Chain A
Amino acid sequence: MTARLERVAKAASTTAFGLSAAAVAFFLLAAAIVVGFLFWQTNNLLTNQVLGVLTAEARIMASEMKAGGRPKLAETVSAMSRLQGAGLYYLSDENGVKIAGNLNRIPPELVENARGGVFNYQPAGEAGNAHAHLAVAIPVELGPEVRLIVGRDIEDQRAFADSIRVAFLLGFGILSVAGLIGGLAVSRLILNRMDAITATSRSIIDGDLTRRIPTSGGNGELDKLAGNLNEMLDRIEGLMSGLREVSDNIAHDLKTPINRLRNSAEAALRDPRGAEAYREGLERTIEKSDELIKTFNALLLIARLEAGPLEDSVETFDLGRFVEDVTELYMPAAEEAGFALSIEAEKGVCVRANRQLIGQAVANLIDNAIKYSRAGEPGSAITVRAYRQNGRPAFSVGDHGPGIAAEDRERALKRFVRLEASRTQPGTGLGLSLVAAVARLHHGEVRLEDNHPGLKVVVLLSGKCLTSVLPGGVSTPSDVAAGVAAQ
C-alpha cells in the first residue's frame, strides 16, 4: 500500500504530471470564463425582460390614475394583486398608509433607492414557509398623493441561476478530478518508460555497454527517443571497442618496433668497433624512429577523422582533375619502379571534401598498389579512375597483383591488420584503414573488389555538391541534374 502511495507521489512529482495539471487548470479557467459570461448574458436578458414588463405596467397604472384618480388606481391594483402571478404591488397614500397591493410594506431595500431594485420578500400565501423570494421592483411616479411600487417575483430566475451554479461547480469538480487522474496516469505511463531508460543508462554508467533501452515497436516520440538513444549507444560501443582495439594494437604494433629500436641502440653500444658502430646505430635509430612517427601520425590522423567532422577545411573541387593531378605525381616514380600507372578521369565530377585527405587516400591506394603487386610483369598495370557512380563521386585504384581473398576483405580495412601475405612488406598496416576513415568522414564507403585478377579499391563519396559551383568546371545540364538527384 505504501509502495503504491509512493508510486503515486512519485508520479505526482513528475514533469508530465505538472504539465497535465497545468493544462487542466488552464482548461478550467477557460471554462469558468465561458460559463460565467453565458450566465451573465442570460441573467441580463431575463432582467431586461422583467424590467420591460414592469415599465409597461407602470405606464398602465399611470393611465388608470389619469383616468380615475386614486380610487380607480386602487381598484386596479387590488384586482391585479389578486391574480395568481408573479406581479407584486404596493399602493399607499402620501402618509405611507397602505391602500392596496399584495406586498405588506415597502421593501426596505427600496426605501432608499428611488430607481427601484432587487429585494427579498415573504410571499403572502406561504407565510409559514421561511423561504424568502427574490423580487425586483420599481417605484411609479404618479403625483404627490400616492406612492405605488410595481414588482415581479424573480424566484424562478434565481432557481435557474442556482442550478447553473451547481452544475458548473459539479462539472468543475469532475473535470479537476478527472484531469488529475488522467495526468497521474499519463505521468505513470511516461515514468515507467523513463524508469526503463534510467535503469538502462544506470547499468551502462556502471559499465555494461551492451544494454539497450526496450522499445515498444511503435512510432511514438518515446520510441523514437529510445531508438535514437540506442543508436547513440551503438556508436559509443563501437567507438569504445575501437579504442580498446587501438590500445591493444598500440601495445602490440608500437611496442614491438620500440623494442627493436631499443635493441639496436643497445647492440650498437655493445659493439666493439666503437665510433663507427655508434654512428651506424644512431642512423638506424633515427630511421626506426621515423617509421614509428609515421605509424603514430597515421594513427592520430585516423583517430582525428573518426572523432567527427572537420571544421572549415571542406571545399568544392573537381574530383577527376584532382585525382588525375595526384596520379601524375606518382607516374614518374611508378614508371621507374616498373609499373604502368594510368588514369581515367571523368571530367566535371564535383565533390565537397577535404582536398588533402582525398589526396592522402589516393596516395595511400597508389602506394599500396605499387607495394603489393609485382613490377615488370604483364600484370603491373595500375589503373586509377575517377567517375560518378549512381550520382555519387567515386574513385578507384585497381592493380593486377595477388589481390585480397573475398573472406579477408572486410578484415583488411581494419586498423593494423596486415594480411599474412603482406607481412614482409614495409608499412604501417594503416594505409587502407586511413582510406576507410577518410571515406567515412565524407559520408562515403570503401569497397574492395576483385579486379580479375588483382585488387580494386573503390572509394565512394557523398554526392552533396552542385557541379555549377565548381571553379572553372564545365556544367552540362545532366551534371547539374545528377548533382541535384544526389542530394
Chain B
Amino acid sequence: MASSGSPVNHTTGLPRRLDAVQLNSSSRDGQDQKNAMRVLVIEDDRETAQFLQKSLKENGHTADLAGDGEAGLALATDGAYDVLIVDRMLPLLDGLSVIKSLRAEGNRTPVLILSALGEVDDRVKGLRAGGDDYLTKPYAYSELLARVEALGRRTAPEEQQTRISVGDLVLDRLSHRVTRSGEHILLQPREYRLLEYLMQHAGQVVTRTMLLEHVWDYHFDPQTNVIDVHVSRLRAKIDKNFDKPLLHTVRGAGYTIRDGPT
C-alpha cells in the first residue's frame, strides 16, 4: 500500500512535503486573476486568521477578517462575498448561529465550517445548520484552499450542464457516455462518477478527501490511500492512448483535470 505513494494523510489532508504546497500555489497564478474570490474569514484566533488571509492572498484571493460571531454576521450580511470560512466556536455568537442567521435572511453564500470538534455528528449538525462543507482542525492549507475554491465555483452554471467537456474529453450526463476525441470510453459506474466530479471542478484542485466525500459519500478515515489506485485506473482509461494528459496529480494536494500546460 505504502508503495502506491501517498503524499497526503487522509484524515487531515495534511501535506507531507512543504514544497508541494508552494508548487501548487505558484502553478495556479495564471488562472487566479480571473477566478479571484472575495472570502470572509470569521475566526477568533488571530494567528490562524492572519495565516489564512496571507495564504489566500498568495493564491490571488482577497480575504476580510472578523474576530467574533457578531462582527462576522454583520460583515457577511453587508459584503458580497464568494465564500465564508466560519469557525464553529466563536465569541459573542457561535459559528452555527451565524450561519443560521444568514440562511434565515436568505443569504446563500457558500460556507465552509472549520471546527476542532470531532467528525461523528458535529459534521451533520454543521451541515444541517446551513453549512456547505466541513473541515476539521487541524487541516492542511491545501485542503482548505481546494475546498474554498470548489465552494466559490459551486454556483457556476456549468454544474447544471448536461455536457461537460475538458479539451477533447466529453462527458454526457444524459446518456452517461464519455468520449475522448470522439472515441467512446467505457467506464465503471464509480469511475464515471469520479470523472464527473473531477470534470465539474475542471481547473481546480480536488483533494483525496473531497473525492472520498463526494464520490463515495464516506466521511471516515480509510487508513490507507485507497483513492490513488482508483484515480490511476481512471487515468489509464482516459489518458493512456492519448498524447496530451488531462488528469494531473498535484503533489501534496490532490488531483486536477484540465486542458492546459502540465
Contacts and interface: CB of A to CB of B under 8 A. Distances in A.
B141 to A, nearest CB: 12
A66 interface: no
Chain B interface, DSSP helix/strand/loop, else mixed: loop
B72 to A, nearest CB: 26
B121 A313 contact: yes
Contacts of B28: none
Interface in B200-228: 216, 218-226, 228
B241 interface: no
Interface in A297-350: 297, 300-301, 304-305, 310-313, 325-326, 328-330, 332-333, 335-337
A77 B121 CA distance: 105
A101 interface: no
Interface string A343-380: 00000000000101101100110010011000000000
Interface of B: 1-4, 9, 11-12, 14-19, 118-121, 124, 138, 190, 216, 218-226, 228-230, 233
Given A332-B229, A363-B221, A337 B1 contact: yes
9 contacts: A293-B138, A297-B221, A301-B120, A329-B222, A356-B218, A360-B221, A367-B223, A370-B1, A431-B223
A304 B14 contact: no
Contacts of A286: 14-18
Contacts of B138: 293
A98 to B, nearest CB: 104
B221 A293 contact: no
Contacts of A367: 222-224
A311 B190 CA distance: 31
Which of B138, B224, B228 is packed against the most chain A CB atoms within 10 Å?
Answer: B224
Given A337-B4, A363-B222, 13 more contacts: A279-B18, A283-B16, A286-B17, A289-B14, A293-B12, A294-B221, A297-B12, A297-B118, A312-B121, A313-B120, A332-B230, A333-B229, A354-B120
A410 interface: no
In the A-B complex, the 5 residue pairs with the smallest Cβ-Cβ separation, listed nearest first, are A360-B220, A367-B223, A332-B229, A313-B121, A290-B9
A62 interface: no
A289 B140 CA distance: 12
A287 interface: yes
B18 to A, nearest CB: 6
A282 interface: yes
Nearest to A365: B223
Contacts of B229: 332-333, 335-336
Interface of A: 279, 282-283, 286-287, 289-290, 293-294, 297, 300-301, 304-305, 310-313, 325-326, 328-330, 332-333, 335-337, 354, 356-357, 359-360, 363-364, 367, 370-371, 426, 431
B220 A356 contact: yes
Given A279-B19, A283-B17, A370 B120 contact: no
A412 B221 CA distance: 21
Contacts of A354: 120-121
A293 B18 contact: no
B18 A304 contact: no
Contacts of B15: 286
Contacts of B12: 290, 293-294, 297
A364 B222 CA distance: 7
Contacts of B124: 312-313
Nearest to A310: B121
A282 B190 CA distance: 37
Contacts of A301: 118-120
A333 B121 contact: no
B220 A363 contact: yes
Which of B9, B118, B223, B225 is packed against the most chain A CB atoms within 10 Å?
Answer: B223
A89 to B, nearest CB: 99
Nearest to A339: B1
Contacts of A294: 9, 11-12, 221
B4 A333 contact: yes
A471 to B, nearest CB: 14
Contacts of A290: 9, 12, 14, 16
B113 to A, nearest CB: 16
A283 B221 contact: no
A325 B223 CA distance: 16
Nearest to B10: A294
Contacts of B221: 294, 297, 360, 363
Contacts of A311: 121
A386 B120 CA distance: 23
A332 B9 contact: no
Contacts of B3: 337
Contact of B220 (A283, A332, A359, A431): A359
A293 B11 contact: yes
A367 B9 CA distance: 15
B11 A297 contact: yes
Given A294-B221, A367-B222, A329 B216 contact: yes
B121 A370 contact: no
B42 to A, nearest CB: 24
A289 to B, nearest CB: 8
Contact of A310 (B1, B4, B120): B120
Nearest to A329: B226
A294 B12 CA distance: 8
A286 B16 CA distance: 6
Contacts of A426: 2
A297 B11 CA distance: 8
B190 A328 contact: yes
Contacts of B2: 426
Which of A336, A357, A431 is packed against the most chain B CB atoms within 10 Å?
Answer: A336
A329 B1 CA distance: 14
A297 B15 CA distance: 17
A357 B121 CA distance: 10
Contacts of B216: 325, 329
A15 to B, nearest CB: 41
A283 B15 CA distance: 9
A304 B218 contact: no
A359 B190 CA distance: 17
Contacts of A336: 1, 4, 229
B19 to A, nearest CB: 7
A330 B219 contact: no
A293 B139 CA distance: 10
